[in-house]
Amino acid sequence: MLEQLKGRLIASCQPVTGGPMDRPDIVAAMALAALDGGAAGLRIEGLDNVRAVRAATRAPLIGLLKRDLDDSPVRITPFATDVADLIAAGADFVAVDATSQTRPETVEALYSAIRAGGALAMADCATLDDGRRAAALGFDVLGSTMSGYTGGPVPAEPDLDLVRGLAELGHVTVAEGRYHRPEQAAAAISAGADAVVVGSALTRLEHVTGWFADAVAAQVATTQGAA
Ligand SMILES: CC(=O)N[C@H](C=O)[C@@H](O)[C@H](O)[C@H](O)COP(=O)(O)O
């Protein structure tokens, strides 16, 4: 299953929460469209969405579950019970936050739950140290997912340096986070990534529309200012 993802694009089909596209049938349609467009794998959030996508395709599926906890900034699959539920829903891989942020359950416990369920394990890292720890635990895939999301302003560009560092650890490396243009995805492969996850630019229609709407509005303001 890991081999199927090497050198390929993974589409993260995560609609804007509560938006008009936030329905399992629409997520499944997004997933099929992304596969038609050349994606080799899928990253899917939430149990109902994982079930809907699993019913529609056998393509490699990375499952995650986001929670907003009161006492921890960790959002991506914080509990071992979430891991078990995702595997029961049909996830081939389970992605967990592998950062050093305060958390309700250890990364070790989450990793054990993934292995107990017979799934593959993806570590969503923010730093090279996160990657080193996850690699030592035995995670199958290291992702740059959390870079820029553990405090401070979110950078505009993807973190290619982290991708380079993770790849040098000799583990399967997935570039993820703020890959908005095809040339950025290509740069991740040049930096050593085995695969690239693209989400917002493919499946968050509100975000992509906003990028264009803002560019149009900014240009109108510039043109009017010059007149
Ligand atoms: C930080 C966090 O919670 N990331 C999430 C992880 O699953 C998603 O919200 C992102 O959309 C995904 O990582 C893909 O990234 P981008 O949408 O930038 O292509």
CATH number at residue 56: 3.20.20.70
Per-residue model confidence (pLDDT) at position 71? 94
Residue found by looking up tokens 């599926």 in the block: 61
Q: Which of 41, 30, 136 is nearest to 93 (CA)?
A: 41
The whole-angstrom separation of Cα 217 and Cα 100 is 40
Distances in whole angstroms, Cα of residue 212 to Cα of each of 176, 206, 218: 22, 10, 10
**Residue 174 CB–ligand 1 contact under 6 Å:** no
Q: How far is the CA of 222 from the centre of ligand 1 (A)?
A: 32
Tally of domains within the chain: 1
**113-146 tens-digit pLDDT:** 999 999 999 999 999 999 999 999 999 999 999 9
Task: Kindly tell me if the per-residue pLDDT of 225 is higher than 90.
Answer: no
Distances in whole angstroms, Cα of residue 151 to Cα of each of 71, 77, 126, 148: 15, 19, 10, 7
Name the residue type at position 95.
A
The whole-angstrom separation of Cα 91 and Cα 161 is 29
Structure confidence at residue 3 as a pLDDT band (50, 70, 90): very high
- Could you tell me the sign of the dihedral formed by the alpha carbons of 207, 211, 214, 216, in that order? negative
Which domain, by its residues, includes 40? 2-226
Task: Kindly tell me if the per-residue pLDDT of 151 is higher than 90.
Answer: yes
Task: Kindly tell me if the per-residue pLDDT of 100 is higher than 90.
Answer: yes
**Residue 144 CB–ligand 1 contact under 6 Å:** no
Do the beta carbons of residue 21 and residue 28 sit within 8 Å? Answer: no
**Which tokens belong to 165?**
């560092």
The whole-angstrom separation of Cα 48 and Cα 25 is 9
Task: Kindly tell me if the per-residue pLDDT of 226 is higher than 90.
Answer: no
- Looking from the CA of residue 145, the nearest atom of ligand 1 is 13
**Residue 185 CB–ligand 1 contact under 6 Å:** no
**Residue 145 CB–ligand 1 contact under 6 Å:** yes
Task: Tell me the mean pLDDT in the region 62-78.
Answer: 97
Structure confidence at residue 4 as a pLDDT band (50, 70, 90): very high
**Which tokens belong to 202?**
């493919």
pTM for the model = 0.96
Name the residue type at position 223.
T
Task: Kindly tell me if the per-residue pLDDT of 35 is higher than 90.
Answer: yes
Task: Tell me the mean pLDDT in the region 47-65.
Answer: 98
Task: Tell me the mean pLDDT in the region 201-215.
Answer: 98
What is the separation of C-alpha 52 from the centre of its chain, rounded to a whole number of angstroms?
Answer: 18
* 154 sits in which H/E element: none
